[in-house]
Amino acid sequence: MSVLFPKLVVAIAAVVILPSQTYALENTYLPVEKVPYYEEMPDQPHRLGPLWGKRDVGPAGTLLKVPGGWQAPIHAHTADYQGVVIEGTWSHWVPETGEGKGIELRPGSYWTQKADQMHADACMSEKQCVILLINTEPYSTLFKSR
């Protein structure tokens, strides 16, 4: 067997197994005043602002904007997601276990949420909260039945 064969196997394995870098096809700019916010639910005051992708289809980044003092109904999502606080003070917790309860998430704070787990969110500050939500799988919201 050639000395090159093991090196070739390792090189092929590295290309197949290791994640590849993703490069932007073009530069994109979206000034904050041009984020196309829309109403997700008519009876709720929160607004969603898509930045990239379509969250109900696949990978996406979406801004969530809510008024100060707002609390979301208990809900879950069909995909795991990551959250980053951009503005305001946020609270995110799992009522069933108490996980996250009482933790204040200020700008720059981060959390993750597993798919299909009921949880709650609230904007603890008087001023609005803006949150960056990132998902890699199709994502929709499910509310706890009353």
Asked if residue 91 has pLDDT above 90, the reply is yes
Query: Looking at residue 6, what is its pLDDT?
Result: 46
Asked if residue 14 has pLDDT above 80, the reply is no
pLDDT (tens digit per residue) in 109-129: 999 999 999 999 999 999 999
Residue 41: band (very low, low, confident or very high) from pLDDT cuts 50, 70, 90: confident
Query: Looking at residue 5, what is its pLDDT?
Result: 44
Query: From edge to edge, which strands make up the β-sheet containing 47-53?
Result: 38-39, 47-53, 60-66, 129-135, 81-87, 110-113
pTM comes to: 0.79
Residues near 57 by Cβ (< 8 Å), separated by ≥ 6? 138
H or E segment and range at residue 86: strand 81-87
Query: Looking at residue 43, what is its pLDDT?
Result: 82
Domains of the chain plus CATH, in order, are: 50-140 (2.60.120.10)
Q: Please give the Cα distance from 123 to 126 (Å, whole number).
A: 8
Per DSSP, 49 falls in state: E
Average of pLDDT values for 87-109? Answer: 95
